[in-house]
Amino acid sequence: MEAKKDKDHETEYARITPVLLKSRTGEFDLESILFLKLRSLGIYDLGCIGECVNLERLDLSGNNITNLAPLASLRLLLVLNLSANRISNLEPISGCENLQSLNVAGNLIASVDNLHALKPLKKLENIRLKDNTYNYTNPVCKNSSYRNVLLEMFPNIKVLDGERVVGRGSDLYQLCKDIDDTIKAGLYKNGQLPELPECKPWVEDGFWEIKRSNNAIVEEAYKQFSDVLHECRLLNSRAAHAIAQTERNLSLKNQPKQYTV
C-alpha cells in the first residue's frame, strides 16, 4: 500500500503543470513566477514551464529530465540548476541569453561538441559540469580538454566546476595572454617556422622591435604580479595575527578561574 502511494506521488509530479506550479508558488499567473524550486520530484516532462517567461532562478535538480526544449523561451533566466538529470543535449538553452550561472553536473553530456551549444550565452560566469561533493559528473569530463574549451569560449568566466578561475578578466591575465599571442606572432609566420638561409642573419628585420615590445609587456605583467604577491603576503600576515589573537583569547577563556581567600 505504501509503495503504491509513493508511486502515485511520483506520477503526480512526473509532468510540470499549471496546478503544480500554482501549488508550489502560490501564484495564479505563471508569468508572475520569478523563482522556482522543483527538486527531486521525479519530473521527466517540463510541460508548461516555458510559460513562466519571467523566471530568473530555476532549480530542477534531481529529476529525470532529458528534453530541455520548453526552456528555450526563458530569456530572462539568470540561474539554472539542472544537476542530476539525464540531459545529453544543451542546445535548447542557447536562447537563454541572460544566463549567468549553469549547473549541469551529473548528466549525460558526452563530448566537447555538445558544449559548443552554450557559445551564444555570452553572460555565463559560473559553469559546473562536475561536483565532487555529490560525485556528480558527465562523460565529457573524462576529456581533459573540456576545461580549456570552456575557458576559451567564455573569456569572462569566473567559476568553473566550483573552483574560482583566478585572474581571468583581470589586467594581469590579459597581459599574460598578450605575451603568449605576441611571442607566437613573432616566432611563426603563416603558421610555420620561417626557413632562415645560412648566409643571412638568424633573425628577421624588425625582430628586436617586437622583442622590446615583449619586454615592456613582461615588465608590466611582472609589476602587477609583484603587487598581487605583496597583497597576498599582507593578507596572510593579518590572518596569522587574527588566528594567534583568537587562540590566545580561547586559551585565557579555558583557564580555570583562581579565587583568593
Domains of the chain, by residue range, sit at 2-164, 171-254
Condensed to tens digits (0 to 9), the pLDDT of residues 45-66 reads 999 999 999 999 999 999 999 9
Q: How far out from the chain centre does Cα 115 lie?
A: 13
pLDDT at 211: 42
197: pLDDT strictly greater than 70: no
Whether pTM > 0.75 for this model: the answer is no
Q: What is the pLDDT of residue 13?
A: 75
Torsion sign across C-alpha atoms 83, 84, 89, 92: negative
- Read off the pLDDT band of 85 (50, 70, 90): very high
Q: Give the separation between CA 201 and CA 92, rounded to whole angstroms.
A: 57
pLDDT for res 50? 96
Mention every residue, 6+ apart, whose C-beta is less than 8 A from residue 26. Answer: none
* CATH dotted code for 2-164: 3.80.10.10
> Mind listing the pLDDT tens digit for each residue in 4-61?
444 444 445 799 999 999 999 988 899 999 999 999 999 999 999 999 999 999 999 9
Please tell me the predicted confidence (pLDDT) of residue 227: 66
Residues 111-132 have pLDDT tens digits of: 999 999 999 999 999 999 999 8
- Residue 213, pLDDT > 60, answer no
| Grid coordinates of 47 | 510541460
